[in-house]
Amino acid sequence: MERTLVIIKPDALSKKIVGKVITTFEEEGFKIVAFKMVLLSREKAEEFYAEHKGKEFYEPLVNFMSSNPCVVMVLEGENIAQKVRDIAGNTDPQKAGEGTLRKLYAQDNRHNIVHAADSLESAEREVKFFFSENEIHHWEERIYKK
C-alpha cells in the first residue's frame, strides 16, 4: 500500500490549527499509520530540504522549519501522495485552489502550513527520514457505532 509523509509546519502549531489539518485528512478517509512531534535541528532541516540548497528561499526555509516543532505523520492509502498534495494545494497560497489547506490557512509560500511529499519516490525517502519501520503501524479499520 502507498504511503506518504506530511509535515504540519510550525506556523500551524502557532495558529492552533493542527487539529483542523488532521481532521481534514481524517474526513477524507485517510489512514494515519505514524505520528509524532519533532523539533528539527538546523542540520536536519538542511538535510531534509537539501534539494533546494542554493535557492534564494533555502536559508529562510531552514530557519523557519527549525524555529519551532512540527508534527510529522505518515498516511497510507491508494494514490495517497497525490491525494494529500491535492488537499494541501499550491505551495503559494495565492495560487492554491478553494478549500485547500494552504488557501484556507497559509500566510505565504514559506509559512504554508503543511509539507506533502511531491512524488512517490520522495514520499518513500521522506517517510524513512522521520520514521523507523517499527514506528509505522499496521492496523485494521473497524466499524464502531456513534
Q: With contact defined as beta carbons under 8 Å apart, do 21 and 113 qualify?
A: yes
62 binds ligand CMP, rule: CB under 6 A: no
> What are the φ and ψ backbone dihedral angles of 53, each rounded to 5 degrees?
-55, 135
The bridge status of strand 3-8 relative to strand 31-38 is unpaired
Q: Judged by CB under 6 A, which stretch of 19-27, 66-74, 105-113, 136-144 contacts ligand CMP?
A: 105-113
Pattern 36-55, binding to ligand CMP, x per CB under 6 A?
----------------x---
Of positions 83, 115, 126, 131, contacts ligand CMP by CB under 6 A: 115
The verdict on 67 binding ligand CMP (CB under 6 A) reads: no
Q: Which residue, 119 or 137, has its beta carbon nearer to ligand CMP?
A: 119
Contact flag: residue 17 with ligand CMP (CB under 6 A): no
CB atoms within 10 A of CB 17: 18
Question: Which of 4, 24, 66, 112 forms a contact with ligand CMP (CB under 6 A)?
Answer: 112
The residues, ordered by sequence, that sit 6+ positions from 11 with a Cβ below 8 Å of its Cβ are: 64, 106, 107, 111, 112, 113
**Terminal-to-terminal C-alpha distance of the chain:** 28
The reply on whether position 109 binds ligand CMP by CB under 6 A is: yes
Catalytic residue among 52, 115, 137, 138: 115
| Residue 57 in the binding site for ligand CMP (CB under 6 A) | yes
* DSSP E strand boundaries for the chain: 3-8, 31-38, 70-76, 114-116
Cell of 36: 509524532
Annotation says 111 is catalytic: no
Catalytic residues: 115
Q: Which chain residues interact with ligand CMP by CB under 6 A? A: 52, 57, 61, 91, 109-110, 112, 115
